[in-house]
Structure 1
Amino acid sequence: MAPPQSDQPDAAAGSGAISKVLIVIAMQTEALPLVNKFKLVDAPPHESTFPKGAPWIRYHGNYKGLHIDLVWPGKDPVLGVDSVGTVSAALVTYASIQMLKPDLIINAGTAGGFKAKGASIGDVFLASDAAFHDRRIPIPVFDMYGIGARKTLETPNMLKELNLKVGKLSTGDSLDMTPHDETAILNNDATVKDMEGAAVAYVADMFSTPAIFVKAVTDIVDGEKPTAEEFLQNLVAVTAALDQAVTEVVDFISGKCISDL
């Protein structure tokens, strides 16, 4: 994702220190450990960033010279489960960019991984690319729009310093994988698979906001165990690995410009 163009020096243009970081997370289980780690506080109703009726949740605070806003889509008002998936992720990312004006977005979350691409349970990846695998539009040019492939922000210094793994990310709105999805994921050359990343990338790209994607593997998609069972079994432990990686990423970002990453 290319940084925005501006006549004034700023962090997004790479000539000023990053000061405002937006962390977008899909699930409460993934969010709360980071809220505690960064000592973030819930925004009170009179400071609400989001429209009335939206279930989205925002925490905020200061950490090592950075103002951090952490948002997640909240619970479904009817069913009470985490509002996972591309629609909720895109909406909360859009609203947060408009209201909070971040210098950098971190989309953090758990994901499925492919052992054929070298992924193991607990591995944490920085996504080099993001694309969709379940938007099938078999019409010329519309097919490319459906895939929506995008390069993410390049962070060579971060990768070297933190020794993180790198892989391509493929996004869809289902936890399981159909044969059609499998073919599309293979075509995307993906190492990890999630339900939000490419949607966040789409919105971030639309508004020229640099974004990075930190994904921790909870389940092996091409393994022997059922995906849902393995995901639930490993969620808490892998979330701890995710939160550790995000903390290291934020520590690295502190005091740096986009071009330093």
Structure 2
Amino acid sequence: MIRNRAKIYSMIIAAFIIAALPEFSMAEVVAKLTFMRGDVDVLKLGAERAILLNLGDGLNTGDILRTKSKSRAQLTFTDGTKLNIAQKSRIEIKAFDIDTARNKRTVLLRSFRGKFRAIVPEEFAGEGSRFEVETPTAVAIVRGTDWLNIINPLPLSTEEMVLRGSVAVRNVKPGIAGEVILGPMMGTSVPANRPPTPPRRVRLEELIPHLRDTSPVKDDQHLSPEELGVPRGGPQIISEPGFAVPPVSPPVTDTYPEILEPEPPVEEPPLESPV
């Protein structure tokens, strides 16, 4: 009798220990991997090593997703938001909460490197809603939109390009004043320790390569600009009172001339450790 009771207690304790492990966590799934190409892994909250993901796997708050070289992924969140992620990117889901009764959404993402395209539905945009993305140099505050977020490593800066809707952009450091609000087909760059550059029109030849890099379609090289999601109509801008719209100028980052004259692929160096 005593031996059986001790055995039952041991089984209960073992169950609690297993449930506490990250890979057995019953945390709420906030997003699923709905497209992948190549190798995509995730560092679970509290884990020491990243694990490879499979199509359809769920992600939780606190997870850090990484796409390796020549890989890409799409995350679809429970609110309908789609995150199309290019190769060599690393993104953390810092917070995700949907309050359907109050039509409120709280989403906080952190992008460490790489690029992604976010398509955010207008639902759950009630008073107090937040959808923010933090990068090493910038914070983007989203208002139901479709936009690109690109981190340039050298020199360190963040590019924001809006296709639809509006995005407010400022430096990640609160002490650096200055915020711009981008409308459709407008962009800005946020260098380290400086405010965002004045909003500018986004040129089609610089936009298309980024859309291809983040496309969840396997044969994306044959897609037209419209099929990639480029909106019809002229550029627009929303900005602070008294802020002048600058003329079209060359982009501050590489405009990828190879879109017109493709070059052979270049072998990329291996990634650093998973974590």
TM-score, normalization by structure 1:
0.29
Q: Tell me which protein shows more helix as a share of its residues.
A: 1
Structure with the greater alpha carbon radius of gyration = 2
Structure showing the higher strand proportion among its residues = 2
Q: Which has the higher contact order (CA 8 A, sep 6+)?
A: 1
